[in-house]
Each structure stands twice: as structure tokens, then as C-alpha cells.
């Protein structure tokens, strides 16, 4: 192992001691953002790091993260490229490309070209520096009040993507954000933040893809903030393929105005400890929100999905479909809460969580919750934890299909609905491939399905 | 004499440690249709499951030879490749797997075992079309997930359709007649009869004689309490239909 030089050691911090570092960092930021970041830092300090006694963290132990000596990415010299990682570009998307290395924008690897008219895309650091009015207005404004990692991300905010689609513009080109983690010998902490603003009647597809050098330890605290105007339509994909030793805590907060539509798709593959917070607020009336996800932990991976869907406007429609496939000693959490505010009449909210255990030692915790303050609503929720259906397996075997193929076919079938809900053909094909790559016997299924 | 296609000797089988089959013997030669009849709980479906290789059933004694090979040493998929087919009493629904995908996988598994290349798309489509017609199966059903949303009759026809596609040497029909109206019963029977040949055999498991007037068996066996208590020709089925299982049960008890 390469000896760690003294400067690196002095820059390594535990998460609990981030306050001093954050204050120094804030002091160097543009003046307009200092109060916002300071406010978020105060929240982070006041709340403190989560522990197992908190209801929202009962099943997820972040001690291994707390004990890590972290090097804030902003203390490292900016890297324009990674020696060890190629950009996992999704060619068939033909997307505008923003690439980040350890949370910081790489101009060299990015391609912000052929932008449709009315679409603004730049890295967030630049947008903050320019102090764009839209950024001043919206940045950190939608953060969930009791999410300490959202607060930490906002307090540390430095870079990420800033996307704005003007009124009435339907962008034919998706925007793809590639977050590459190549932390070297140090456990780097990065705080990428994306701000996506869709004005009235606009349309866009955004893809976030996270990858890391295999086996490397780092902490990605990522946060995406979405603001949708009336009738704005966003298709959002998050594909998380971090190193299996990484810590990944991400959030997605969205505010939907009247008639807006959001489809948020998430596929979780990587990370030793993963927390995925999803929090859309259907503010206006007649909003439509699809929360679609699949988590596939193996080994000793732990994946925690924390949903909070808030209905404020009337006639809102939300559907949450989350599925987990757990192998080995993997563990998962699904905690889904539907909150229907007083006055959010005619809400139609649905939530399902299904888990498939492939091993005796895998554990899935699931906790659907309803919090309803209106009286004329339709809310349903359901959760299941099960194993492969032996009758289905026998049926396939009895037709001469080999066991390993038959099992893989059934596992894939369990996830098929999740893929079917994705509107983007390139994304669905990509995710199908990524899923099959990870399933035992998946290579055989590829020939069948 | 040629080796029998199927030779069951003194078969004992249990599920959850409860003995169901208690010394069943049966020999099926090539080209023969055997019917196994019996009251509910006599072990008919257990026999079908044991033959097909369901793991929930434990064989505690006896032997089964199929084409002279020890069937009990084989997994369910190996038995199917060797030429055994079970038409399920309750065909299983598999959401997320389309019939087309499933059938292609089953056909290619056989071709792979035979050292043949995978079936090409056109040949597959033609084969499916031809065989679907023989059992009057609506082709649009094939785009759906396996058995999902099929009516009872459609499920049974789909089983016979699969059998026609996979061309087994031994077809085991487990109460294929249950839940079928008279038209469907006729269609299913015609599908089976069209497959009868000097090389191919069937074991038709049923509670009622009705099916056997369409698929006329060479031999009829009565299964009671896990054993074959009487064997005869097709007239045995008629006799049973007239007299009922209770009378036969009493007769068997008296001679035991």
C-alpha cells in the first residue's frame, strides 16, 4: 500500500467533525449562498448523526460510516479524468453528457452540446458562482426538514448539475449525469447535488448513473432537487452501481405543481450501505407521481429505501412500486409512508413493496405506513416477503428447462414489471442487461427472454 | 420382448412423512394407453408428481424404469428431456414470463440436449401456429404470461398444446378432463388421439369414465389407497361408472 502523506491525514475527518470544515468551506463560497448553507449546517449540527434509536434509522446502522476517516472531495486537486474508470456512457440514449469525478465536474469528459433551445444545462458550481436567479430561488428550498443527510449535502454543496427547461419546451434529448468515484487510497466524501427545474408544460428525461472503482471505499452523499411547474413532465432514472464497499446516501425531493407528472425510477446495485430517500410533494391538484424501484443486494450489502409521498393538492395520483431481490446475507429496508394532508381530497395513492429472498440468511424489512388527514381518499398498500415459488420452478423443470435457467427466469420475471414501467427503451434495455449480468444464471436467461 | 417404456415396481412414496403410494406396480409398453382411475385421495396425482420428479414427494421404496433407465436418479428437467411429459391438473401461472419465451426455452433445452442448434424464429412461429390449431388455442394467448388470465379450459388446452410441441414418448395426463365442458373435452381428446402412435404411450389419470370414451384406453387400472387393486380392459371403466367406487371398495375389502 502507498503510504498516505501527512497532508492527506490532516484532511481526513470523521463525519461528526465536519462542522468546522464546513464553516471554513462556507466562508469561501459566494456570499449569496452562505446564509443558505449555514442554515443547513445548523440543522445538521442540531440534529446530529442518526442512531439506531431513531425510528427512521432503526434498521440501518451507520456506525461503519461514522467510524470512517473521510477526505472531503473539495480538498483534493480537481481531476479531469479517471485512470481507472471509463465513462459508462449509455450510447443509445444520445444524451447530453455531464461527467463528474469524485463529485466534481469534468469539463474534458463532458459533452454539453446540441442543447435543445430553451434548455439550460451546466455544472452547479458554475451556476452558483454566477448566482443565477433560478438557482438562488430554488437551491436547498425543497429539502426534507428531518433528513439530516439532505442538510449535510446542502451545507457542503459545491458541484453537481443544474438543469432548467423553459416553459413549453419538450426536450427530445435526455440529459445523462455520470458520477464516477475514483477515490485512490483515501475514503473520499463527495456531496453532489442536482437541481432540476421544469417550467410549465415542459418535458425532460434525466438519467443519473453512479459508478465507482471496484472495491474502493468512499462516501457519496448525493441529492437531487426537482421543481416542476404546471403540467411539467419529468422521467427520472437513477442507476446506482457504486463499488460494493462504498457508502451511498441519496435523496430525491420533488415539488409538483398542478397537473405535473413525475416518474422516478431507481435501480440499486452497489454500495455496502445504501440509503435511498425519495420524497415527492404533490402540491398542486391533479398531479401524477410514479415511484418505481428495484434493489438487488448481494453479499453483505444493506439497502434502505425510505419513501415519503406527500399529497397536498386534490385529485393527486401516486403509485409506489418497489421490489427487492436479496441474495446471500444481504439486508434491505423498505419504509414507505403516504401522507395525505387535510384537504387533499380525491387522492388516489397506492404503495406496494415485494421482496424475493434467494437465501436463508437474507433479510428484508418492510414497513408501509399511511398518514391520512383527508376523508375522501383512496389509499392502498401492501407488502410481501417470499422465496421462489416451488410450483413455478417445478413447472419450468418439468418442461425440460435446466434448474439454473429456470431459477434465473423466475427471478427475472419478478423484476420484469419494474422494467416494464420505464418509458425509455434504451434505459429499459440497459437496466435489463445490468440486472441479468448480476443474476446467477442471468447469461442463460438472456437467450430466453 | 422389447423393454417396456415405463416400468414401476412396488412404488412407495410419501409426502411430509405421510405414505400415499403403498406398493404400486405398473408396466406400460410402447404404443399403449393406460388409464389410472380412482377415488379422491387414492394417490393418482401423487403418482403423476412422482413420475415427473416433484421434490416434495419422497420415494421410500421401489423403482421406476423409463426407457430402461432409472428415473428416480434424475431431476425433473432430465426426465422431460428423456421424453416424459406431465399435463398438470392445475397448470401454474408464471407472471412475467411470456408463453412464447417459455416454449422457446423448453424446445431449445431439448435441442441442446440432442446436440442440435437453437430453433430459428420462423420455424418456431410456424410450429407454434400449427400446434395451436390442433387444440383450437387462440394464438393471442401466447403473448401473455404463462397461464396467466387463462380460463380453466384454456389452461388444459394449453397443456395439450405444449405436449404436442414437445412430442414426448410418454404423456401423463393428470385429470386433464376436470373442469372441461363437453366441447373442450372433445378438442383436448382429439389433440391427444392425434398424437397416438406405436412409439408413444399415455398414462391417463382420471376420476371419471367420461374422458375415456374419447381417449379409448388399452388398459384400465383402479387405484385405491395407494395400490392398484384391479386391472382390466376399457370395459372396467364402464363397470366402475355404473357401480361406483364404493361398491368396488367394499368388494376389495371383502377379498383382502
Q: Please report the ipTM that was assigned to this predicted complex.
A: 0.96
Select the residue of A392, A398, A447 nearest B76 (Cβ to Cβ).
Answer: A398
Q: Of A62, A330, A87, which Cα lies nearest the Cα of A221?
A: A62
Mean pLDDT taken over chain A: 93
The pLDDT of residue A17 is 87
SS in 3 state form for chain B?
Answer: CCCCCEEEEEEEEEECCEEEEEEEEEEECCCCEEEEECCCCCCHHHHHHHHHCCCCEEEEEEEEEECCEEHHHCCHHHHHHHCEEEECCCCCCEEEEEHHHHHHHHHHHHHHHCCCCCCCHHHHHHHHHHHHHHCCCCHHHHHCEECCCCCHHHHHHHHHHHHHHHCCCEEEEECCCCCCCHHHHHHHHHHHHHHCECCEEEEEEECCCHHHHCCCCCEEEEEECCEEEEEECCHHHHHHHHHHHHHHHHHHHHHC
- C-alpha cell at position B116: 442440435
DSSP letter at A423 equals -
Confidence of residue A92 (pLDDT cuts 50, 70, 90): very high
The pLDDT of residue A4 is 43
Residues A125 and A239 in one domain: yes
* A15 vs A329, higher pLDDT: A329
Average pLDDT over residues A242-270: 97
| DSSP letters for A294-351 | EE---TT-EEEEEEEEEE-STT-EEEEEEEEEE-TT-EEEEEEEEEE-TT-TT-EEEE
The pLDDT of residue B227 is 95
Q: List beta partners, residue A219.
A: A189, A247
Q: A395 lies in which domain range? A: 390-449
The pLDDT of residue A142 is 64
Q: Of B212, B218, B216, which Cα lies nearest the Cα of B241?
A: B212
Residues A46 and A168 in one domain: yes
Confidence of residue A1 (pLDDT cuts 50, 70, 90): very low
- The number of beta carbons lying within 10 Å of the beta carbon of residue B239 is 15
Give me the number of domains chain A comprises.
2
* Range of weakest confidence among A329-338, A378-387, B91-100, B244-253: B244-253
Go through the domains of chain B in sequence order and give each one's CATH number. 6-255 (3.40.50.300)
Encode burial over A115-129: b for 16+ CB neighbours within 10 A, e otherwise. eeeebebbbbbebbe
Residues A197 and A56 in one domain: yes
The pLDDT of residue A146 is 76
Q: Does a structural domain hold residue A28? A: yes
Question: Do A449 and B101 lie within an 8 Å CB cutoff?
Answer: yes
* Range of weakest confidence among A78-92, A422-436, B60-74: A78-92
Residues A82 and A197 in one domain: yes
Confidence of residue B256 (pLDDT cuts 50, 70, 90): low
* Range of weakest confidence among A12-26, A189-203, B193-207: A12-26
Q: Is A370 exposed, middle or buried (0-12, 13-18, 19+ CB in 10 A)?
A: middle
The pLDDT of residue A215 is 94
Residues A111 and A228 in one domain: yes
Q: Does a structural domain hold residue A64? A: yes
* B9 vs A5, higher pLDDT: B9
Contact, A182 vs A83, CB < 8 A?
A: yes
The answer, yes or no, to whether residue A2 has pLDDT greater than 60, is: no
User: Which is it for the CA torsion B231, B237, B242, B248, positive or negative?
Assistant: positive
Average pLDDT over residues B129-146: 89
B116 touches A at CB < 8 Å: no
Confidence of residue A253 (pLDDT cuts 50, 70, 90): very high
- Please tell me the distance in Å from A419's CA to the nearest CA on chain B: 11
Mean pLDDT taken over chain B: 93
* A3 vs A398, higher pLDDT: A398
Residue A406: list chain B partners with CB under 8 A: 77
Domain end, chosen from A218, A253, A284, is at A284
The pLDDT of residue A445 is 79
B102 touches A at CB < 8 Å: yes
Gap between the Cα atoms of A140 and A157, Å rounded: 9
Question: Do B94 and A405 lie within an 8 Å CB cutoff?
Answer: no
Average pLDDT over residues A147-163: 94
The pLDDT of residue A349 is 97
Contact, A323 vs A355, CB < 8 A?
A: yes
Which of residues 136 through 175 in chain B touch A, CB cutoff 8 A? 145-146, 162, 166
Select the residue of A401, A413, A417 nearest B106 (Cβ to Cβ).
Answer: A401
Percent of chain A at pLDDT > 90 equals 86
Domain end, chosen from A284, A312, A341, is at A284
The pLDDT of residue A190 is 97
Contact, A207 vs A95, CB < 8 A?
A: yes
Confidence of residue A302 (pLDDT cuts 50, 70, 90): very high
Question: Do B77 and A406 lie within an 8 Å CB cutoff?
Answer: yes
The string of pLDDT tens digits covering residues A101-114 is: 999 999 999 999 99
Confidence of residue A6 (pLDDT cuts 50, 70, 90): very low
Question: Do B92 and A395 lie within an 8 Å CB cutoff?
Answer: yes
Domain end, chosen from A250, A284, A318, is at A284
The pLDDT of residue A447 is 66
Average pLDDT over residues A71-77: 90
The answer, yes or no, to whether residue A340 has pLDDT greater than 70, is: yes
Q: Does a structural domain hold residue A323? A: no
The string of pLDDT tens digits covering residues B74-113 is: 999 999 999 999 999 999 999 989 898 899 999 999 999 9
The pLDDT of residue B29 is 97
* A447 vs A245, higher pLDDT: A245
Q: CA-CA distances (angstroms) from residue B125 to A48, B81, B121?
A: 63, 21, 6
Q: Does a structural domain hold residue A161? A: yes
Q: Map grid coordinates 472531495 to a residue.
A: A73
The pLDDT of residue B248 is 84
The pLDDT of residue A5 is 45
The pLDDT of residue A3 is 43
Q: CA torsion B51→B56→B60→B63, rounded to 10°?
A: 20
The answer, yes or no, to whether residue A225 has pLDDT greater than 50, is: yes
Confidence of residue B244 (pLDDT cuts 50, 70, 90): confident
The answer, yes or no, to whether residue A199 has pLDDT greater than 60, is: yes
Select the residue of A396, A402, A413 nearest B96 (Cβ to Cβ).
Answer: A413
Confidence of residue A184 (pLDDT cuts 50, 70, 90): confident
Average pLDDT over residues A356-373: 95
Question: Do B108 and A402 lie within an 8 Å CB cutoff?
Answer: no
The pLDDT of residue A148 is 92
Gap between the Cα atoms of A347 and A284, Å rounded: 12
- C-alpha cell at position A200: 410549465
Q: Does a structural domain hold residue A363? A: no
B81 touches A at CB < 8 Å: yes
Residue B81: list chain A partners with CB under 8 A: 400
In what helix (H) or strand (E) does residue A233 lie, and over which residues does it extend? strand A233-241
Question: Rounded to 5 degrees, what angle do the CA atoms B185, B190, B195 make?
Answer: 130
Chain A to chain B Cβ contacts (< 8 Å): 86
The answer, yes or no, to whether residue A9 has pLDDT greater than 70, is: no
- Please tell me the distance in Å from B233's CA to the nearest CA on chain A: 30
Amino acid at each position: 500500500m502507498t503510504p498516505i502523506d501527512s497532508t492527506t491525514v490532516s484532511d481526513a475527518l470523521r463525519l461528526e467533525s465536519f462542522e468546522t470544515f464546513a464553516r471554513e468551506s462556507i466562508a469561501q463560497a459566494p456570499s449569496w449562498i452562505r446564509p443558505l448553507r449555514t442554515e443547513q449546517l445548523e440543522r445538521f449540527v442540531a440534529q446530529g448523526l442518526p442512531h439506531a434509536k431513531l425510528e427512521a434509522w432503526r434498521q440501518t446502522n451507520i456506525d461503519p460510516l461514522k467510524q470512517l476517516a473521510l477526505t472531503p472531495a473539495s480538498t483534493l486537486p480537481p481531476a479531469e479524468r479517471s485512470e481507472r474508470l471509463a465513462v459508462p456512457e449509455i450510447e443509445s440514449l444520445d444524451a447530453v453528457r455531464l461527467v463528474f469525478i469524485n463529485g466534481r465536474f469534468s469539463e474534458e469528459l463532458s459533452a454539453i452540446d446540441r442543447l435543445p433551445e430553451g434548455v439550460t444545462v451546466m455544472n452547479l458550481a458554475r451556476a452558483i458562482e454566477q448566482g443565477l436567479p433560478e438557482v438562488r430561488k430554488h437551491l436547498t428550498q425543497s429539502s426534507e426538514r428531518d433528513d439530516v443527510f439532505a442538510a449535510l449535502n446542502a451545507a457542503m454543496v459545491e458541484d453537481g448539475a443544474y438543469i432548467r427547461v423553459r416553459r413549453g419546451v419538450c426536450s427530445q434529448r435526455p440529459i445523462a449525469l455520470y458520477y464516477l468515484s475514483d477515490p485512490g487510497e483515501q475514503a473520499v466524501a463527495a456531496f453532489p447535488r442536482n437541481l432540476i427545474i421544469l417550467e410549465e408544460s415542459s418535458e425532460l428525461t434525466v438519467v443519473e448513473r453512479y459508478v465507482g472503482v471496484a472495491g474502493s471505499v468512499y462516501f457519496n452523499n448525493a441529492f437531487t432537487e426537482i421543481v416542476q411547474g404546471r403540467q411539467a413532465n419529468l422521467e427520472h432514472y437513477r442507476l446506482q452501481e457504486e463499488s460494493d464497499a462504498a457508502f451511498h446516501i441519496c435523496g430525491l425531493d420533488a415539488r409538483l405543481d398542478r397537473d405535473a407528472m413525475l416518474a422516478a425510477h431507481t435501480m440499486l446495485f452497489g454500495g455496502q450501505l445504501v440509503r435511498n430517500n425519495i420524497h415527492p410533494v404533490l402540491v398542486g391538484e391533479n398531479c401524477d407521481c410514479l415511484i418505481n424501484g428495484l434493489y438487488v443486494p448481494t453479499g453483505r450489502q444493506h439497502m434502505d429505501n425510505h419513501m415519503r409521498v406527500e399529497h397536498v393538492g386534490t385529485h393527486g395520483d401516486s403509485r409506489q412500486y418497489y421490489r427487492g431481490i436479496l441474495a446471500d446475507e444481504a439486508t434491505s429496508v423498505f419504509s414507505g409512508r403516504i401522507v395525505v394532508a387535510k384537504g387533499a381530497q380525491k387522492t388516489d395513492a397506492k404503495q406496494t413493496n415485494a421482496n424475493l429472498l434467494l437465501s436463508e440468511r437474507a433479510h428484508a424489512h418492510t414497513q408501509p405506513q399511511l398518514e391520512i388527514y383527508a376523508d375522501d381518499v383512496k389509499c392502498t398498500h401492501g407488502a410481501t416477503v417470499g422465496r421462489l415459488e416451488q410450483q413455478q420452478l417445478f413447472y419450468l423443470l418439468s418442461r425440460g428447462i435446466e434448474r439454473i435457467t429456470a431459477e434465473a427466469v423466475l427471478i427475472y420475471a419478478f423484476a420484469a414489471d419494474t422494467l416494464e414501467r420505464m418509458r425509455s427503451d434504451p434505459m429499459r434495455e440497459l437496466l435489463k442487461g445490468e440486472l441479468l449480468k448480476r443474476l446467477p444464471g442471468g447469461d442463460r436467461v438472456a437467450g430466453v427472454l | 420382448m422389447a423393454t417396456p417404456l415405463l416400468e414401476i415396481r412396488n412404488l412407495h412414496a410419501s409426502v411430509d412423512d405421510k405414505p400415499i403410494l403403498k406398493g404400486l406396480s405398473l408396466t406400460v409398453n410402447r404404443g399403449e394407453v393406460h388409464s389410472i382411475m380412482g377415488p379422491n385421495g387414492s394417490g393418482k396425482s401423487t403418482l403423476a408428481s412422482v413420475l415427473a420428479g416433484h421434490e416434495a414427494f419422497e420415494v421410500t421404496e421401489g423403482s421406476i424404469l423409463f426407457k430402461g433407465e432409472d428415473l428416480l436418479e434424475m431431476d425433473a428437467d432430465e426426465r422431460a428431456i428423456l421424453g416424459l411429459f406431465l399435463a398438470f391438473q392445475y397448470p401454474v401461472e408464471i407472471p412475467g414470463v411470456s408463453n412464447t419465451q417459455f416454449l422457446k426455452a423448453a424446445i431449445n433445452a431439448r435441442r441442446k440436449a440432442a446436440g442440435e442448434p437453437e430453433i430459428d424464429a420462423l420455424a418456431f412461429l410456424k410450429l407454434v401456429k400449427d400446434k395451436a390449431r390442433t387444440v383450437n388455442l387462440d394464438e393471442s394467448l401466447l403473448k401473455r404470461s404463462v397461464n396467466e388470465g387463462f380460463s380453466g379450459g384454456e389452461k388444459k388446452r394449453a397443456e395439450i398444446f405444449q405436449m404436442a410441441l414437445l412430442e414426448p414418448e410418454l404423456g401423463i395426463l393428470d385429470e386433464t378432463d376436470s373442469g372441461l365442458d363437453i366441447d373442450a373435452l372433445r378438442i383436448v381428446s382429439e389433440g391427444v388421439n392425434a398424437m397416438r402412435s406405436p412409439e408413444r404411450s399415455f398414462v391417463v389419470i382420471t376420476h371419471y369414465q367420461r374422458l375415456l370414451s374419447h381417449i379409448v384406453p388399452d388398459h384400465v387400472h383402479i387405484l385405491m389407497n395407494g395400490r392398484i387393486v384391479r386391472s382390466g380392459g376399457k370395459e372396467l371403466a364402464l363397470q366402475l361408472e355404473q357401480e361406483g367406487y364404493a361398491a368396488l371398495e367394499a368388494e376389495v375389502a371383502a377379498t383382502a
